[in-house]
Structure 1
Amino acid sequence: MAGLTVYDKIISDRGSRYAVSGGPVRDRDGVDALLAQLKRSKRFQKATHNSWAAILSGEPVKDDDGESGAGQLMLQMLQRAGVDDHVVIVTRWYGGKHLGGDRFRHVADAVRHYLDRLDAT
């Protein structure tokens, strides 16, 4: 997927599975385009949540996609890392068991996984 980097099946806990994706964007249209590109895959289209965050021209934008608080956590991590004009998407397929606070740890681990590889390039 051009412009979009995907790391699939990086975390599994009690049936829930996580992936992290992202790519450079200039504006909200760019975010929407990368989300649409990701969702061309039926697997990602059927995900329970595709939460995302980005800092576009210094302005924070996010969408929890039903995973309450995920976008804000992702946004804070992007701000601390100084990553601008780049969207990060954390995808979760719900496995049937509530994860409680562990879901935030998994979101943070997924974003860290992505940022570590972004820094390596």
Structure 2
Amino acid sequence: MSYPIPAETLETTLEIKKSLFHACAGYAPDREAAMTIIEQCKQRYPDARHHCWAYLLGDPNSPTSAAMNDDGEPSGTAGKPILNVLQHKGIGDIIVVVSRYFGGIKLGAGGLVRAYSGATQQSLEQLAIKKRIARQRYRVECDFKHEQYLRLWLEQHNAVVRGCDYAQGAILDIAIPASKLAELDNLLASLSNSRRLSH
């Protein structure tokens, strides 16, 4: 399953009636990663009055998880508008944190909704995105003499080596795009003592 994800962590600032809205958009493949980005924003803007956020995990068309937080702003004026923008952008595994510095002029509920939506929108318009490549995990066994060649081939075919055990030969723990599986099997068949193991 492939879908667009953030290719970077990006920060933008929106000023509305002297209030500053610092929006930080980033890649969050799971809840822990999202919480880490929220903490980083709190450390970057320790004296901001609010750190409101929303995230969308998994495929944006059928997310595995979504959450939001108003962080002290009136209910429904911050987290929900951020999440609404995320839900219409078609980007998965994403979090947006908006840190607000109050400028002395009250914006009212409608103004807050527009401000948090606007800050999120501005950030996502500038955010670089890339395609998430769905990979399947396998274990591959090969002779020591073929290990470097195999690692190079995997790297060139968008696969990731997650680990390696050594026994009679090398056993690589890999994650490979499903579309490359037949090519991998053909390669292994051509190398002595090499095969794909069930995971």
For this structure pair, what is the TM-score category when the shorter chain's length is used for normalisation? 0.7 to 0.9
**CA–CA distance in structure 1, aligned partners of residues 47 and 29 of structure 2:** 27
SS of corresponding position for 2:36: helix
* 2:90 is aligned with 1:87: no
CA RMSD of the aligned region, Å?
1.8
Encode CA deviations 1:56-105: one digit per residue, 9 max, x unaligned. Answer: 13121111111231111111111111121110111111123311121211
- TM-score, reference length from structure 2: 0.53
Correspondence for 2:123: 114
SS of corresponding position for 1:74: helix
Unpaired runs of 5+ residues, structure 1, are none
The amino acid across from 2:15 in the alignment is: I
Cα shift at 1:5? 2.1
Cα shift at 1:120? 7.4
Checking the alignment, whether the CA contact within 8 Å between 1:4 and 1:34 is kept in structure 2 is: no
Bigger radius of gyration, 1 or 2? Answer: 2
Cα shift at 1:118? 1.6
Cα shift at 1:4? 3.3
Correspondence for 1:39: 42
Correspondence for 1:4: 9
The amino acid across from 2:11 in the alignment is: V
Cα shift at 1:112? 0.9
Correspondence for 1:21: 24
- What is the identity percentage for the equivalent residue pairs of Structure 1 and Structure 2? 31
Unpaired runs of 5+ residues, structure 2, are 1-7, 131-199
Which has the higher relative contact order, 1 or 2, with Cα contacts under 8 A spaced 6 or more apart?
Answer: 1
